[in-house]
Amino acid sequence: MGTETVRLFAAIEFDDATRESVWENSSALREHCTRGNFVPIGNYHITLSFIGETSRLSEAKESVLAADGETFVLTLCGIGKFERTRGDTYWLGVKENIALSALAGNVERELKLRGFLTEKRTFRPHVTLARDVRLYRDIRTKTPEINYSVTGFSLMRSDRIGGRMKYSTVAHKEFKK
């Protein structure tokens, strides 16, 4: 019997009220698109580090739980996009935050110490709202800021179930008070 391969990432998860606010902020996008694959409200998160496919689940848990950080408040604001040929990926931005960048760096360092290959691109925190979006008209909308108190982070697993991505928490680390 082989070792199970899972798709993993480290992330900041949100409470229900924050998820609802993110959903409300994306209403203009939903109203002005001809097509799009919208992220289910339960999947909203900020990726700290994408690990990818691995059979080293226990080492990934160890890495994430070894990373440290402190409680901080982040601010979600402004809709942006990554342009793609099939359709753009729209996201809700995050104001620059030193504590968030430090946390992402700590997670990356712990993963690298245990031999995980991490993405080489620059950390650009955001909450993905929809992929493969085509708009029938460009939207220029000002979104209200959403403040969220980050008290910990998680190792998440990604599974495709019934054609949809389902994210589940594998391990969670609360910051020391």
From 25, 45, 67, 88, the catalytic residue: 45
Angle at CA of residue 10, ends 30 and 129, nearest 5°: 5
From 126, 130, 133, 173, the catalytic residue: 126
172 labelled catalytic: no
What are the structure tokens assigned to 170, written together?
A: 């594998």
Amino acid residing at 52: G
Active-site residue set = 45, 126
